[in-house]
Structure 1
């Protein structure tokens, strides 16, 4: 298990958890600069806060997280917009709870001491 953070154009940070060793390795390749194409974060949102992602009322389901180069527009949203319209998510907004913030940029892997909960 590992925890990573990304920001979007707002500069706000969003933390997510990865359980899959392949995805963890992929995230580390992105951070090292080895992977330069599929660098944006996507996955299904869970409408509940997680202690490791303070400040947000939702999180990403670790089982659904992947990295992408390009994605369809219907799943794009900034972190703050997704938060502000969370009650509408999984309907017409972010159908199927699928979220792919186009401006997401992986910024760091969190150390165990930084993870709450």
Structure 2
């Protein structure tokens, strides 16, 4: 019974996450507002969490890049946490970890479902289980994540 409930909760969470990520985000509309310059190309940011480990994310959507820069500069505190889909392989810009974020599937949030919450090192430790009951759909939303700085492209 418990296994069935776990699977049902995981499937429901993935469905809700798919719906949430399909909706236009406020960050995507920022670049269309007057006074907001559109960011071009990719940008790289260091995030941390409660463990104080550091993880580099790559952003490609202009609205997300602008929102990330506003978070780092302190211009906003809205949607401070990172939601992404993980890719189970190392990236040149994030060599310490065996996984990286999917830039086209990265957004920011205030609150999210528990099924996608995990710290940076916990994801690394259980990466082989990600995509199943752990981080269904490879959706990752570290509730304590926050951006701390922008770094140059590698």
Kindly provide the CA deviation profile for residues 15-65 of structure 1, in whole angstroms up to 9, marking residues without a partner as x: 011111111001001111122120001110000000100210000000000
Structural RMSD (CA) = 0.8
- Higher normalized contact order (CA 8 Å, seq sep 6+, divided by chain length): 1
- Alignment-derived partner of residue 39 in structure 1: 80
Q: Which of 104, 107, 115 is 2:145 aligned to?
A: 104
Report runs of 4+ in structure 1 exceeding 4 Å deviation.
Answer: none
- Alignment-derived partner of residue 95 in structure 2: 54
User: What's the offset of the Cα at 1:105?
Assistant: 1.1
Structure ranking higher in strand proportion? 1
Distance in 1 between residues matched to 2:60 and 2:114, nearest whole Å? 27
Correspondence 1:66 to 2:144: no
- Alignment-derived partner of residue 92 in structure 1: 133
Structure ranking higher in helix proportion? 2
**TM-score, normalised via structure 2 length:** 0.72
Instruction: Name stretches of at least 5 consecutive residues in structure 2 with no aligned partner.
Output: 1-41
Correspondence 1:77 to 2:118: yes
Larger radius of gyration: 2
Q: Which of 5, 15, 23 is 2:64 aligned to?
A: 23
Distance in 1 between residues matched to 2:79 and 2:64, nearest whole Å? 12
Aligned residues: 113
Distance in 1 between residues matched to 2:80 and 2:147, nearest whole Å? 7
Instruction: Name stretches of at least 5 consecutive residues in structure 1 with no aligned partner.
Output: none
